Each structure stands twice: as structure tokens, then as C-alpha cells.
Structure 1
Amino acid sequence: MKLVIGSDHGAVELKEEIKDLLKAEFPDVEVEDMGTFGKESVDYPDIAEKVCTPVAKGEADRGIVLCGTGIGISIAANKVKGIRAALCHETYTAKMSRQHNNANILAMGGRTTGPEIAKEIVRTWMTTEFEGGRHERRVNKIMALEQK
């Protein structure tokens, strides 16, 4: 699996914690960091585009985006055709985002989510599979909205 990750300046520290977790616990996952790499102010829509484009094109399987709250970057991510980004604050929403919505992007906030719960969210999101069935029909309807 290939995963792309990126954050704005408001979540760069959390991004590094998540990268460490992915390296330690998911060694078969190739992780590509799309930035940012410092505390200098950057615009989260630019990071969302950098992460979501390879996922939408099928060049990566999933992505993780982070900003201060996770709100702005999740909104931006969902503007990219083919993306289903889910803003998660705990493991239940992470699990449901995968099981029911087949989310291909996980969004979190560096100023709203502590590193330990963020790691639990990532573990859950990475190990939960899409259930399909009735959820497949609903995901297809979500994706059809892009064509209207």
C-alpha cells in the first residue's frame, strides 16, 4: 500500500508522530510526505491538493491530511474529484469512515487531537476494511454527486 501524508504548519508535529507510527507499525506501507516541513505558514488547500491528487489518480491508495483543526483541510480535500475525506476525532468515526464510507483520506487536527488518540485513530483507520454491500450503493451515490 502507498500512503501520502501532508500537513500545514498547524499540524506538522502531529504529522511527524504519525509518520513514526506508520514506519514502526506498518512497515509494508510506503509513506510519501508531501509537506510542509517547518513552522512557516502555508495554505492548507495547497497541502490537500498535493496529498489528494495522487490518491485521486490511483498513484497512491490512501492519504492523511492535517491542519490546525482538520476542518479546512478536509473541506479542501473533498473538493478533489474522487476523494472521500473523513475528519475523525476518535476511533469510532475512523472505523465507520472506512467500513461505511470507504474513506480514502483521513483528516485530523494538530491543535485539537492529541498524539496518542491520533495514533489510535490512524491504527483503526489503517486496519479497517470497507464492508461493501448496502454501503457500496451509498458510496456510489456520493461519488455520482461529482457528475452533477
Structure 2
Amino acid sequence: MNSMSREAARTVEKFRISDRRGERFVKISSLNKPARTARRTLPKKYNRGEIMRIGIAADHGGFELKVQLSIALKAAGYEVTDFGAHELVTGDDYPDFVAPLAKAVARGEVTRGLAICGSGVGACVAANKVSGVRAALITDSFSAHQGVEDDDMNIMCLGGRVTGYALSRDLVMTFLSARFKAEERFKRRLAKVEALERERT
């Protein structure tokens, strides 16, 4: 086994150890290579020729990744709205950027959103405070599409200090390629989630 193969094996094992909770594994090995299928089927156009509108937001912890992903998305033909930060300011606050993004997603002003902070956790917490938003912190390709197909996820959250650019790009393309299945069981579950939103005081 060459050094590259040994490194890949160690990376796979690291994910296996951290994800072992008595649940079935997803294809962890896919984290170590580009999502080629996602790029081949990249939907530059959305419904009836309309360009998919993507919103993106990040604090200082995700600023560099936001810039990189914005460039990649525009090159792929997406319309990108940047909700900030527009300059790198150490100590800025993620809700200031994530909240406007989340509200734009909820109002339908952008089709989907990308929210980034250092770990992705804070961005996810903030985004989910907005009714109509279904945000999730994503680190693997299975969740990137399954979250849309089953749960109608409309904001993907990423950790700028956790997930590198290459993997983040592939996860984003997988997320944007996925479509909600709209099967009865999924719609029933989402209706229950929406009922919980209405119970908020």
C-alpha cells in the first residue's frame, strides 16, 4: 500500500470511528474523492429554464470558504446573492449574516442557501430560528442529497474550519442537484415539523 493509500485508509477509519453509533454506515469512502456524478449532473438551470438562485452567508470563520464557493457557483452558472460578510473582520457575529439569508430563503427570494461559520454549528442554529427554514450541518455526500430528498432541506451549513474547499464544493453541488421526493410519508413528517414551528411562543 503506497503512502497515499495509507493516508486515505487512515482518513476513512477516522470517519468510521467518529460516526460509529450503532447506526448503519453511509459510504464514508466517498468523502475522500470528488463527487464526479454531482458535477456531471450540475443543474445550471432550474424550473423551466430559470437559473437557480443561491444565497450565501458567512462570518469570519467561513469567509474564505464563502469567497471560494461563490466563485465556483458563478462559474457553474448559478445566480449568487452574497449576504455577507463582505470583508474579513475577526470577531463579527454569524447571526448578522445568516439571519438575512435565512429570511430570504423563507420568502422564496433565493431558492437555496449556504450558511458558513467556523464549525457550521452556530450558523445552523441561527438559520433554524427562521420559520420555513430547514437547515442542516452537512459533512458527507449522503446527507447532502438525502436531506433534500427526504426532509426538503433548503439551507446547507458548513464549517469553514472543519471542511476543506474541495469537499465543500462537492457537497454543495450534491445539495443543489438534489430534489425533494414529495412522497406522502415525507410530506406527513414535514407537516408535523411545521406544526412544531407554529407552537413556538
Q: TM-score range by the shorter chain?
A: over 0.9
2:106 aligned with 1:56, yes or no? yes
Q: 1:14 is matched with which residue?
A: 65
Percent identical residues: 39
Q: How far apart are 1:90 and its partner, in Å? A: 1.4
Higher relative contact order at CA 8 Å, sep ≥6: structure 1 or structure 2?
A: 1
* Separation of aligned partners in 2, 1:75 and 1:122: 19
Whether the 8 Å contact between 2:83 and 2:98 is mirrored in structure 1 is no
Q: Where is the strand percentage greater, Structure 1 or Structure 2?
A: 1
Aligned residue in 1 for 2:192: 141
Q: Which residue of 1 aligns with 2:53?
A: 2
Q: 2:87 aligns with which of 19, 34, 38?
A: 38
| 1:70 match | 120
Q: Deviations over 1:60-113 (max 9, x none)?
A: 211110000000010010001110001101111111111111111110000000
- RMSD of aligned C-alpha atoms? 1.0
TM-score, length of structure 1 as denominator length: 0.95
- 8 Å contact from structure 2 (residues 53, 80) kept in 1: yes
Could you report, residue by residue, the CA deviation over 1:102-148 in whole angstroms, capped at 9, with x for unpaired residues? 11111000000010000110010000111111112111211221111
CA separation in 1, counterparts of 2:175 and 2:72? 13
Q: Is the 8 A contact 2:56 2:81 kept in 1?
A: yes
Q: List structure 1 segments (4+ residues) > 3 angstroms apart after TM superposition.
A: none
Rg larger in structure: 2
Cα offset, 1:55, TM superposition? 1.0
1:108 counterpart = 2:158: yes
Q: Distance in 1 between matches of 2:195 and 2:112?
A: 20
Aligned length: 146
Q: Structure 1 unaligned segments of length 5 or more: list them.
A: none
Q: In the aligned structure 1, how far is the partner of 2:110 from the partner of 2:145?
A: 20
Gaps of 5+ in 2: 1-51
TM-score, scaled relative to structure 2: 0.70
